Amino acid sequence: MMTEDIRDIKGIVGVIDWGTMLFLGLCLILCLGLFYLAYRYYLNIKAKAKAEQKAGKMAPAKPFNVFAEESILALDPVVYFQKGLFRDYYFELTRIVRHFLSDNYKIDALEKTSFELVTEMERVERDYEKIKLLDRFLQDADLVKFAREKPSLAVMRESKEKALGFIKEFYRYAAG
C-alpha cells in the first residue's frame, strides 16, 4: 500500500451538548417573546388608529363655522394679557382661523406658512380685499408669535374681532 492515499482523520466540527441546547432554546424563547411583544404593540397601534378613524367619521355636533366662532369667543384676551401669554393667545387664535379655512375651502391651511396660506387663498377666494385683510391679520400674528412683539390688550381684542369677522365673511361667501 501506498502511504500517499492515507490521510489524517478530520477533527470534530462541533459538539452539541446540553449547555449549547439550553442556550439555543433560551435564544429561541427570547426571540419568540420579542416577536409577541412587537405583535401586541402593532395590534395596539392598529386599534388606536381604528378608534381615531371611527371618532373622525362621527359627524360633529356643530358645523365647523359655529365651532370656530364659539372657540374664538371662548378665548379671553384679558387672561392671556394678564399672564403675559401673548404668543399662546395668537397661536390659538390663528390655529382656530386656519382650521376654519381648512374646513371651509378644503385646503391644507394648517401645514402652510402664512405666505403660502395667503397664496393658496388667492387661488380659491376672489375677493382680494378679504385676502389683504387676512394677510395683514396673519402678519400681525406672526410678529407676536415669532418676533416676540408685545401687543396691547386693545390690539388683542381687535385681533379677536377680526378673527370673528373672518369666520362670518369667509363662510358666507364660500358656502354660497
Give pTM, 2 decimals. 0.62
Tell me if 135 sits within 8 A of 118, measured CB to CB. Answer: yes
- Comparing C-alpha atoms, which of 145, 107, 102 is closest to residue 123? 107
Domain ranges in the chain are: 17-58, 64-175
pLDDT tens for 40-85 read: 999 999 998 888 877 666 555 678 888 889 999 999 999 999 999 9
pLDDT of 77-130, one tens digit each? Answer: 999 999 999 999 999 999 999 998 888 888 888 888 999 999 988 888 888 888
